[in-house]
Amino acid sequence: MSGPAQVLDCRGQRCPLPVIALARRLPGLPVGSVLRVLADDPAAAVDIPAWCRMRGQEFVAAVPDGPGYDVRRTH
C-alpha cells in the first residue's frame, strides 16, 4: 500500500465544495493512485464515500488522525 500521491486541502470549506474539488482533481491523477482530501465539514464523512460509490471510485479509508479521506482512482 502506497501513501497518498497528492493532498487536497479543503479545510474550512462547506459541502459540496470538498466533493467538487475531489471530482475536479482525481481525473488528473494516474489510475491506481490515492488522493487525500482534508475536509473538516462533518458532511464530508458521508458525502466523500457516497461520491466514490456513485462514481465507481474506491473510498480507501478515513484518515485516522483526520479530518481527511483517502480516495483511489480506479478508472
Partner 1 sequence: MSPTPVYLDAATAAPLHPVARQALLAALDDGWADPARLYTQARRARQLLDAAREATAATIGVRADELSFTPSGTTAAHSAVLGGLAGRRRAGAALVHSAIEHSAVLHAAERHVAGGGTAHAVAVDRVGRLNLTCWAEAVRTPGVALAALIAASHEVGTVQPVAAAAELCAAAGVPLYVDAAQVVGRTAAPQGWSVLTASAHKWGGPPGVGLLVVRKGTRWESPWPADERESGRTPGVLNLPAVVAAAASLRAAAADAAAEAARLTPLVDRIRARVAAEVPDVEVVGDPTDRLPHLVTFSCLYVDGEALSHALDRRGFAVSSGSSCTSSTLRPSHVLEAMGVLSHGNVRVSLHRETTEADVERFLAELPGIVAGLRAEAGVVGL
Site residues (vs partner 1, CB under 8 A): 14-16, 19-20, 23-24, 41-43, 45-47, 49-51, 54
Comparison of 1 and 75: residue with beta carbon closer to partner 1:
75
Instruction: Tell me the C-alpha distance between 2 and 4, whole Å.
Output: 7
Comparison of 34 and 52: residue with beta carbon closer to partner 1:
52
C-alpha cell at 56: 465507481
Three-state SS for 5? coil
- Catalytic pick among 15, 17, 60, 63: 15
Beta-strand ranges (E) seen in 1-75 are 6-9, 34-38, 58-62, 68-72
Residue 15 catalytic? yes
Would you please indicate which residues are annotated as catalytic (active-site) residues? 15
